Amino acid sequence: MRIIVFFDLPTETLENKKDYRNFRKFLIKKGFLMLQESVYCKLALNMTAASAVVNAVKNNKPKEGLVQLLVITEKQYSKMEMLVGTKNSTVIDSDDRTVIL
């Protein structure tokens, strides 16, 4: 499973900027990787783990702005096409070496 977070947060006031920074730091701390600016993705082993991550994002969302979540399967994620640009290969973003206990 993949959890994709899309967000569009206001940055007009100092409080808005602080909320933006804190939300972005939260996503990175939780293991999300940036796909594009304001689009982050995380790998989850199953729907139970994905639900826990979704609840954590809901509990840490900023007061203002738009935050959207999308949970998709690994097969759906693998069908994503790069139309312009190249994929950053410095980050390992696959479940090939995942060990399920």
Please, what are the domains in the chain? Answer: 2-78 (3.30.70.240)
Contact, 40 vs 4, CB < 8 A? yes
Is 89 or 74 the better-scoring residue by pLDDT? Answer: 74
Residue 52 banded pLDDT, cuts 50, 70, 90: very high
pLDDT of 92 over the 70 cut: no
Burial 20-33 (b: 16+ CB within 10 A, else e): beebbebbeeeebe
pLDDT value at residue 83: 83
> What's residue 58's pLDDT?
95
Residue-level pLDDT at 78:
87
Q: Is the pLDDT of residue 91 over 60?
A: no
Between 22-36, 60-74, 82-96, the lowest mean confidence (pLDDT) is in 82-96
Rounded distance between C-alpha atoms, residue 85 and residue 33, angstroms: 17
